[in-house]
Structure 1
Amino acid sequence: MIHSVELDGQTIPITLKWNARAKRLILKLDPKGNGVIVTLPEGVSQRQGLRMVEKNRVWIANQLAKQPTPVPFQDGADLMFKGEMHRLNHLPDARGTVWCEEDQKTIFIAGKADFFERRLSDWLKKQAKETITPQAHTLAARIGKTPRRISVRDTVSRWGSCSAQGNLSFNWRLILAPPHILTYVVAHEVAHLRHMDHSPSFWATVEELGVNAREGRHWLKKNGTFLQRNGR
């Protein structure tokens, strides 16, 4: 069943998600701009989730008003890449696909305009995969662990995750962030290979991997929504 709430004349979609690991009801905006997400622990009813939305109508309206405007991939636009702003330059008659010239802080996208966004998105995902994979293996080896599988996806609510089977997954938009922020997220998920919780021992492992967890969390909290809006 599709749920929604009316706010200031707009219909805001509501997504209910049950999570066995959740300890309480969690309400947040969908980073992709598709309304509100309510995470419910097992055993909590749909009605309770919808009631939480009703109780937080003012908060939701305020948060929606703060959301940045979507940033589409288009010729002439600026895009953060590895923490620095780059200009997107479409070259319809050029051969090749996508490449970056750091001295010009420009990303060039060749080919027909119809394929501009897809080619750029595919290139960014490849850059993320090629950056994250070796880092994850190197950091995991430092704590005597080996990831089973590493994937890069267009995730909605997480920058990274680690499954009980040792599979690591990351949001490709991390390649837009400064390199040390990307490394923090990789270290965070690698640390879960040793501790599947957020206990003091887990955070000690994150620090052992040589990253500044507090800085990483602060940066993503401040800038994460902006990153998620790129390419929408």
Structure 2
Amino acid sequence: MISDGPETVAIASRQVTVCWRRSARARRISMRIDARSGHVILTLPPRARRDDALALLRSHSAWVVANLARIPQAPRWHDGGQVLIDGRPHVIRHCPQARRGVWIEGEVIHVSGEAAFLVRRLLAFLREEARTRLGAGLDALSRQAGLRPTRLTVRDTRSRWGSCTADGAIMLCWRLIMAPTEVQHYVMAHELAHLRHMNHGPDFWMLVDRLTPHRRMAELWLRREGATLLRDMQE
């Protein structure tokens, strides 16, 4: 029996966390590293054996260990720690006796309630801030560009910072709220440009460059820092 839950497996003198997946569409056993959780994902066809999947894992142990080592450390949120908002570090202050939820004063973000719920409260606050700030930013840029999406959704995605559907709906990853505003601007411009060009051809990139001056800086920042934002937060 293979469960979907994580399991610790010893390979190459270290412990790795493995998540098992059964897929009716899979034709062979496959393996990937989930950069967000730091887990190894093993996907098996319906009749594949667990032992064969473990053999694949162990035969590629050097690759697994090397790729896990490249994943940045997950952010740790705790009293006195830091969280990024618009790319700027904000000190986390736990206020157990307060009754204001979560609020920002200058470069400090205050979190009320029990310490056990600090990460959960911060996540909820940042998601709501993302809806407000990213929504306002996209609206302003779309008015300036004359490109109006049919709707905006803000979600938690594992790989994409944004997307645009054929019917004009734009999705943005809430974690962009932690990136610099220039990076946010670029991702919005990128998705708005898809309203006119549903491809990544020369005309698309020309439009992106007309909509934002931050393309080069943002692409470099996302390559260097983006993986950290995608990690699951820890206490």
Q: Provide TM-score, normalisation by structure 2.
A: 0.77
Aligned to 1:98: 102
Percent identical among aligned pairs is 35
Are the counterparts in 2 of residues 15 and 36 from structure 1 also a CA contact under 8 Å? Answer: no
- Correspondences of 1:1-232 after superposition (within 5 Å): 7-8=11-12, 9=14, 10-13=16-19, 29-35=33-39, 58-102=62-106, 105-229=107-231, 231-232=233-234
Q: How many residues are matched?
A: 214
Aligned to 1:41: none
Are the counterparts in 1 of residues 185 and 214 from structure 2 also a CA contact under 8 Å? Answer: no
Greater Rg over alpha carbons, structure: 2
1:89 deviates by: 0.4
C-alpha separation in 1, matches of 2:88 and 2:189: 22
Aligned partner of residue 184 in structure 1, secondary structure: helix
1:28 deviates by: 6.3
1:177 deviates by: 1.0
C-alpha separation in 1, matches of 2:202 and 2:40: 31
Question: Aligned-residue CA RMSD in angstroms?
Answer: 3.2
Unaligned runs of 5+ in 2: 24-30, 43-47
Deviations 1:131-167 (A, max 9, x none): 1112222322344321111111111011111112211
Are the counterparts in 2 of residues 6 and 12 from structure 1 also a CA contact under 8 Å? Answer: no
Pick closer, same or farther for the CA change 1:230–1:194 going to 2, 3 Å.
Answer: same
Q: Partner letter of residue 190 of structure 2? A: H
C-alpha separation in 1, matches of 2:41 and 2:184: 25
Are the counterparts in 2 of residues 183 and 211 from structure 1 also a CA contact under 8 Å? Answer: no
Q: Provide TM-score, normalisation by structure 1.
A: 0.78
Are the counterparts in 1 of residues 11 and 58 from structure 2 also a CA contact under 8 Å? Answer: no
Pick closer, same or farther for the CA change 1:36–1:146 going to 2, 3 Å.
Answer: farther
Larger displacement relative to structure 2 (67-76 or 149-158): 67-76
C-alpha separation in 2, matches of 1:72 and 1:90: 14
Q: Partner letter of residue 67 of structure 2? A: Q
